[in-house]
Amino acid sequence: MMEDMVIDIFEESARIKKEFVYEYAEDIVNFGILLAKRLEAGFKVLICGNGGSAADSQHFAAEIVGRFEKERKSYKAIALTTDTSILTAVGNDYGFDYIFSKQVEAIGEKGDILIGISTSGNSKNVIEAVKVAKEKGLFTVGFLGKDGGILKEIVDKAFIVKSDNTARIQETHLVLEHTICKIIDMYLTGEIEK
């Protein structure tokens, strides 16, 4: 029955999210506060990923620059997935693997944060971005899936959704992003003691 399939999808999604949050709840709080402190200090967050993760990058950046649930000052966030002239020029001249790292090289500064989103943990262009970010002194974070891939070994902090289903990984990443935005809102509006 189709209804059973629908229920199975929702139950699987809920189970994966529960397993993830029980493993990472403390780390999510700590990273959310770190990100809020860096934003408040004038640093920026750069976010990158491919496909659905590119859309998540843009969504996440929009909620930091605009707002999530509370009215507050705008903060610096850039999705490295949006400038088609840069993406196509770098892709054409250097190769697709460098579309994000060239942007990190240009605008990343020590103290900034790079969030790389990769459901496999092995996206070459995200790996290259992390390498450049680390050379420049950015704090690097991976929102990853499966076993975390290569990225789990090279980022400063990895959040790994332990599933092989890309849709379920992306769903969990979205809840992670929204939760971090909630923590940022609370910190920057004084709900969390500084």
Residue 30 marked as a ligand binder: no
Residue 57 marked as a ligand binder: no
Residue 85 marked as a ligand binder: no
Contact between 32 and 40 (Cβ < 8 Å) = no
Contact between 52 and 172 (Cβ < 8 Å) = no
Residue 92 marked as a ligand binder: yes
Residue 50 marked as a ligand binder: yes
Residue 120 marked as a ligand binder: yes
Contact between 117 and 126 (Cβ < 8 Å) = yes
Residue 8 marked as a ligand binder: no
Residue 66 marked as a ligand binder: no
Residue 122 marked as a ligand binder: no
Binding-site residue positions for substrate:
50-52, 63, 92-93, 118-120, 123, 170
Q: Which residues are annotated as a binding site for Zn(2+)?
A: 59, 63, 170, 178
Query: Residue ranges for the binding site?
Result: 50-52, 59, 63, 92-93, 118-120, 123, 170, 178
